[in-house]
Structure 1
């Protein structure tokens, strides 16, 4: 933060060390050699853990883990199980048959106590983890545990809590890519972690390290959270990363810290997803809890200094932090009631579900205040979730309520806008003993305050900060790439205007001129596929698997109407598969007083308050929407709120391609699939940052930054906003580099290294590997993989730049297909060698190479494209052998079709292609043939493995989903009767699983 803003009373409160997040961590002197092997790294880690109070437990098998588990559970609960009782305890609770990872996680996070009846009839609460006295838990460390699954695996280091493997650490030697450890953990999850009777299903936290870098992440089944981008570094309260394994062990693996993370700072949400809070989220939570306790002890309740605000940048997970803070505040003896206050008329659906599960009836969403009054008066309701408008109505109608004399915590999820109005003042005036806290990504400073009031003046001292530059550095949000487009030069004078009054005068005459609306719509349709990475090869059936989606922020309801109609008009003659699904939403915007420059007015859920033509148009839009999605919404009352919720979900699921908005969705809406914001709206300060930040949520490796495409001259406003919420040097950190730098190369500001440009990479790979199919030496293979990976990364970034459309790389389509095919072949060769324990056959060490498979998938060629190509080539020549060679080359360049290679070639060889006249013919003929083959192969598998009749439905469902569900009861239920002795049933299950996976790969999409 700049010195200037430090004068605005936003400085951090005095540093504390009573939490698990250290106020400041001084890095230990480095004593490790750079050539330290993985074995040496493992040995040193174990010795450090032992010195920190962990007990070494030597276990080489799952059986030994179970024996130790019995001892630890007996110690924790001060009981003794007979062998029969122990087996019954396992069967009833701890190791229930068919329990998967989700059920095991629920036992740790929610149901950690079980009422067990011993053989003599007495009942005792048996706990598997002590959450009340965390020091009563026993920490052990074990290593090289062997477990059999699809492949035999040996795990590096495991931390046992009361005998359960709750934390697993995967190590790689220094210099090896950390992603290699990440990928290995995911191989273990597929191959052995989740096998029958595996205690590793209980794992909550994974840690990966190559000695130099260390990261942690939650064990979750949610596909969207299983990317490397969701791993996290540990840090101190000043957000300084603690990366070296030596430092990480001293801090994160300090006994109290790891136990508090497991018992307090994990959240198992209503989607059965395990989330682990990041260090800055924990730091903020600890600061608030400290502030409440110290303010209570010093009798400061009811004063501004009893509270404070958290400045965590948009997209960094403020709602999760505030949710956890509210929950933990309820456990404080000095607090009578906790109010979680939101600034929107619509309570966030996911937040509402979380609070309702934590405490039934905690959420009050009705229009009157009677239910709110009942919730406040309910003795066992320690937490109340409501809107600021509802709470304001309550205090006005109940001026002498008992709640005002109790100690109450008020937590505001987004402390901007209405928290600065009369409602906030009324609430503060009524409550006598309040502790008030606000969370914001964009605080109000003097330079962007209209009324003179700032965030710190309203809420008190800044308790913790995690600003946008911190989040970009840590990879928690993305940079922005901003384009400023003047599409029609005659309107430029209006596009550069910043005065609000003048803008209103120019809107109808210039900014909403039909020519301008037409040209901007045309421009968006032209660049949409490029900006969102939408692959032209994907047909409509598969579109949700490909690319991102976008928003279009416009100035007014009238603009939304004009643009919506223009998109419908220009797309009228597009083929159906190329049409964008465009939706819009707007409503009545109350003419409330603004408290900050650039504030985006929030729209009320009252479409009836719209003038008649705007409401009629919204009715028409919703009819179109109902036609798209077979829904039945309208502008009436709750139906409109339901439309809002359904639209929100469909945007998040990429079912809507482009959403036109005026104010709704521009603040607080979180959809990681959005990567582009088109802007024809005047934005400033925190309104600009909030709007831009709809695009910068992390998702995967393909999404490298948020695309902002401006049709107004917002360059100066963007730089001012960035300096306000970062510092003087933030512009280079927050905004992406230029096209020229990525094409020609640049010097990295942090490392000082020269980064190769795309042009140089293309030249080098063509000079060294003009025909990649002729690479035989392993040293050449490694160099090719490294170079082609650089090319994929560079190309993935450059695709977002309009200028790249016309750039000639010099690499022909055929060469590119060959490069992709060889690249994947080399990767499969290495993976197969590892699985077959033949790594010694690979003479060159590839462990420091990261294969960019996610980026390869962005160029996937779909099946329909290949079939059309077969038809075209067959009409050019009757040479079936040449056709097979050409089609094999195309197929093998695409990850999604490689498994279908023999199916497609067999189709070519058994079909009279000359009889097929057009695309429809070949598509119909192939899909008929493929479905017959699918039925034959499924029946063959059922017969070969003697599976039960229900297997057909299970296999069909797996093909439809694209994967085989391994955990749970369904796969087990279709197996034939098989002895469990010596692992025979597990071996049978794994054999069937592998065969099913092959069928899924071949027939997915058919």
Structure 2
């Protein structure tokens, strides 16, 4: 079926939005290419429109001497690093902070100054230009991105477009995968273009995604809003939303200047771009802050609620970077309520120091905090809320600074200790009044303004948070985060039955536990400590931990069979962590290693030299804990599971983490924060799982109720039964597709028979369609449902129902692997290669080595260029005729594509033969036996065609032009092979001599080439009535060879 929308039409639509809606100028790439009347480049390797940049520099920097402006231009053009990301980072720094120059004034004094490339304040002072078909040549590679957006002559945005094959494929991510892969090829082959890049975008006209130079495919994300207030309506195409939402001139400059960071964290540099919810929330927060800090403001900026895992820490970085610039360089004080959170958040900020334009500092104590606040302005200071606690001899916290240009950012602003309310606690020596830390902060910083960031909602009965910070500024909830692929859903599984505690004891424990409420951690009474100890003693008994160790090992190993990744165990105490480690390594001794850089399991706790001996092996310095953290965050590292008590339950980010085991009660925000450790995106991870051994369900439901009451959409955690129900549904669908075929016999068959039954299963699925299209639809339907079944099973395992169907699903996957391989459009994408979900193909069913369609079909892989007779005989004798047809059709299709890239006439001829045979089969004019014979005959003709060049004494290139001439049979009769051979040789020389880059896009060059070809045809006496067709054939073939010739000549 022909494409309803062509790639050029998608390109035209994008340009229409950019030019007519957003006000960009427009130039056609070939019109401004080297050698053209309106050229804007000296050569095809030049990626900067230098005259535009030169003019912009002169306009924006009128007070800078000409020589200094020239030097700045040279710095921008000159490559500083061979590494693309380092070079891009260096340029980005020049772009947002100005190009450093020095020059002498008339007095002879040396002056150091900045040359600005963009006017970020007044976007109208910049030149915005959209260019399509912009050819770049570098190191013998010629590439032509679809659309490039230039700002002041600098290529800031590269857009790659793909057309859908037909309307059914608008939902097919393969198209976006292809566009993404194309950009990766560009980066390797023409890296100079990407030195200046800020944003990469891909689209098929419907779906559209954006990312950066270092973004993996799953982090190319949609832009969902036009105004930041609501999600764009369905009728507005996503490509239009992305272009208007990101590339509108003012927004593009804002994103470039304030919403890009380069992070370097024990590995390659990562370039990150704000997502739409971060961009709009930060800008709203900056505006609210501007009002709050004004003379009429109440110093309450508001609260940003962005669900856990959606990039809250980075939003705080973007916010800080922007207020530092736009609010007269205030002092920013970032407050957390835990030392480990302070360190984690500080590291995030420190990695982004370039955006912040300063290096953050951690306050070591109250005196250091006072010293840091003594400056007149500026500074980003990190401290814990506990540093605002008055001393034993103080009634109130002393004033640290009365400056009004201080902005306090509170992480997790919902916590009760931020309140004003007084609480009375009983001590042995009498009652004592304690206030929430908000009062102490206000006492210390009476004129400061406060803003809160939280991953969970403010509770309805919480009067303190709004009183301190104000109302919500922006909400980004779980449902939207999952829809946007920013997080994955979380599932809940209860394994309470695995913890053997009598009902009588459990009732006592429940009573003890519910007396321990959130918000009293800092003022624990001896009674509360006693209750917790009783709980910990029962749950952490040796007998219980021994049983739990075995159950966790079985459960986690079952999970790892189907899902690559990592796990975390949360225990009630440090003692329990150490004891559980001992029980687990007793059962799996090879998991243990004394070396922090080795081993499969570690305990993460704090402690000191005075702690008991069994804790000592697990007490690490901060540096040692960071090494273990890096291992846990590395998906390839053999460290698979960590045991924690309090650490790493908030702020810790390990995308491969998919399972958490709770042997500890948590409530409210603490619980919500903890379970979010498993909601990070990692490859095709379908979701995270929390496993409950102690009964956190009541508090989980309570947290869910609070979440929805505050306007949040989407469940913080879904019950595992939902995944199991989906697994049942998909299992029945796939099983029904085999109605009439007995695949169950595979489980008692010999190894040789098993291979045959897998092939027979694939053949059966293919036979269900009575037309070629129906066959293709059935194949795609099967592939889709097995993929969905595999994901649901990965979420459900371990479970007794999974065990029942495990081997059947393995068989379904084995059949799917064959069908995927013979699907002409299913080349393995990066996401498949990096798949987190493992195949369940049991070795008792079929070995993992069946990854090739020829192996899958039971054939020896042929030398495709030879298409040997032995191989064709093997295909003919296959009993699974539908499978044989699909394999042979794919093989020939691929071979024809390869030949067409070298010899257009030959490829076209063979393509027509293949299409004719396939159409006869589609129309059921011939059966599957006859179609196989016709395809085998076509394969023989291809093999014979390979010998023609040798017989004629022509190279492959010369033979291609010979075929273009010989396509007219009367020319062969009149001129004969010898003359046509001479003409072909001369045509190759003529084409190579006249080849120029972009000649196919330039009418004047095409005309010149056409005249030269006609002269040659006339000189040799080519039949006049056939010269027009011959000229067209030659020009089409010339397109194939000209690219290499042009690159060689450049």
- For the superposition of Structure 1 and Structure 2, which TM-score range results when normalised by the shorter chain? 0.5 to 0.7
Work out the CA distance in 2 between the residues paired with 1:325 and 1:887: 50
Indicate whether 1:71 and 2:51 are aligned: yes
Indicate whether 1:562 and 2:579 are aligned: yes
Deviations 1:640-693 (A, max 9, x none): 222332332222125432111121111221211211101112222222211111
Q: Which residue of 2 aligns with 1:585?
A: 604
Work out the CA distance in 2 between the residues paired with 1:171 and 1:766: 45
Q: Which residue of 1 aligns with 2:690?
A: 708
Work out the CA distance in 1 between the residues paired with 2:358 and 2:134: 46
Indicate whether 1:386 and 2:374 are aligned: no
Work out the CA distance in 2 between the residues paired with 1:526 and 1:378: 58
CA contact (8 A) 1:341 1:387 kept: yes
* Deviation, structure 1 residue 139: 1.0
TM-score, reference length from structure 2: 0.64
* Deviation, structure 1 residue 352: 4.7
Work out the CA distance in 1 between the residues paired with 2:91 and 2:659: 39
Q: Which moved more, 1:387-396 or 1:458-467?
A: 387-396
Work out the CA distance in 2 between the residues paired with 1:732 and 1:812: 29
Deviations 1:269-323 (A, max 9, x none): 3453221112221222122211222234452255xxx321111111111111111
Indicate whether 1:276 and 2:255 are aligned: no
CA contact (8 A) 2:155 2:193 kept: yes
* Deviation, structure 1 residue 851: 9.4
CA contact (8 A) 1:284 1:463 kept: yes
Work out the CA distance in 2 between the residues paired with 1:586 and 1:815: 44
Closer, same or farther: CA 143–381 of 1 in aligned 2, 3 Å: same
Closer, same or farther: CA 901–805 of 1 in aligned 2, 3 Å: farther
CA contact (8 A) 1:85 1:119 kept: no
Work out the CA distance in 2 between the residues paired with 1:351 and 1:398: 33
* Correspondences of 1:321-470 after superposition (within 5 Å): 321-333=315-327, 336-346=330-340, 347-348=343-344, 350-354=347-351, 362-365=359-362, 367-378=364-375, 381-390=378-387, 403-417=401-415, 418-420=417-419, 422-446=436-460, 453-470=463-480
* Deviation, structure 1 residue 721: 1.2
Work out the CA distance in 1 between the residues paired with 2:373 and 2:552: 50
Work out the CA distance in 1 between the residues paired with 2:210 and 2:713: 28
* Correspondences of 1:69-108 after superposition (within 5 Å): 69-78=49-58, 92-96=75-79, 99-108=82-91
- The SS at the match of 2:475 is strand
* Deviation, structure 1 residue 85: 12
Indicate whether 1:217 and 2:225 are aligned: no
Q: Which moved more, 1:331-340 or 1:60-69?
A: 60-69
CA contact (8 A) 1:482 1:710 kept: yes
Closer, same or farther: CA 310–615 of 1 in aligned 2, 3 Å: farther
Q: Which residue of 1 aligns with 2:160?
A: 170
Work out the CA distance in 2 between the residues paired with 1:340 and 1:894: 60
Paired residue for 1:738, among 703, 719, 722?
A: 722
Q: Which residue of 2 aligns with 1:141?
A: 130
Work out the CA distance in 1 between the residues paired with 2:779 and 2:726: 21
Work out the CA distance in 1 between the residues paired with 2:459 and 2:582: 40
Indicate whether 1:663 and 2:632 are aligned: no
Larger Rg: 2
CA contact (8 A) 1:821 1:894 kept: no
TM-score, reference length from structure 1: 0.67
- The SS at the match of 1:44 is helix
* Correspondences of 1:23-172 after superposition (within 5 Å): 35-51=4-20, 52-60=22-30, 66=41, 69-78=49-58, 92-96=75-79, 99-112=82-95, 113-115=98-100, 126-147=115-136, 153-172=143-162
Closer, same or farther: CA 117–365 of 1 in aligned 2, 3 Å: closer
Work out the CA distance in 2 between the residues paired with 1:227 and 1:765: 39
* Correspondences of 1:900-911 after superposition (within 5 Å): none
Closer, same or farther: CA 527–827 of 1 in aligned 2, 3 Å: farther
* Deviation, structure 1 residue 855: 7.2
* Correspondences of 1:679-718 after superposition (within 5 Å): 679-701=662-684, 703-718=685-700
CA contact (8 A) 2:397 2:443 kept: no
* Unaligned 5+ runs, structure 2: 43-47, 420-434, 515-530, 744-757, 864-994, 998-1042, 1045-1050
* Deviation, structure 1 residue 411: 1.0
CA contact (8 A) 1:817 1:893 kept: no
Indicate whether 1:794 and 2:806 are aligned: no
Work out the CA distance in 1 between the residues paired with 2:367 and 2:586: 49
* Deviation, structure 1 residue 404: 1.2
CA contact (8 A) 1:101 1:194 kept: no
Indicate whether 1:253 and 2:232 are aligned: no
* Correspondences of 1:513-662 after superposition (within 5 Å): 513-533=541-561, 547-572=564-589, 581-587=600-606, 607=608, 615-622=612-619, 633=620, 640-654=621-635, 655=637, 656-662=639-645
Corresponding residue pairs, total? 765
Q: Which residue of 2 aligns with 1:853?
A: 832
Q: Which residue of 1 aligns with 2:512?
A: 500
CA contact (8 A) 1:671 1:697 kept: yes
Work out the CA distance in 1 between the residues paired with 2:289 and 2:715: 38
Q: Which residue of 2 aligns with 1:300?
A: 297
* Deviation, structure 1 residue 381: 3.8
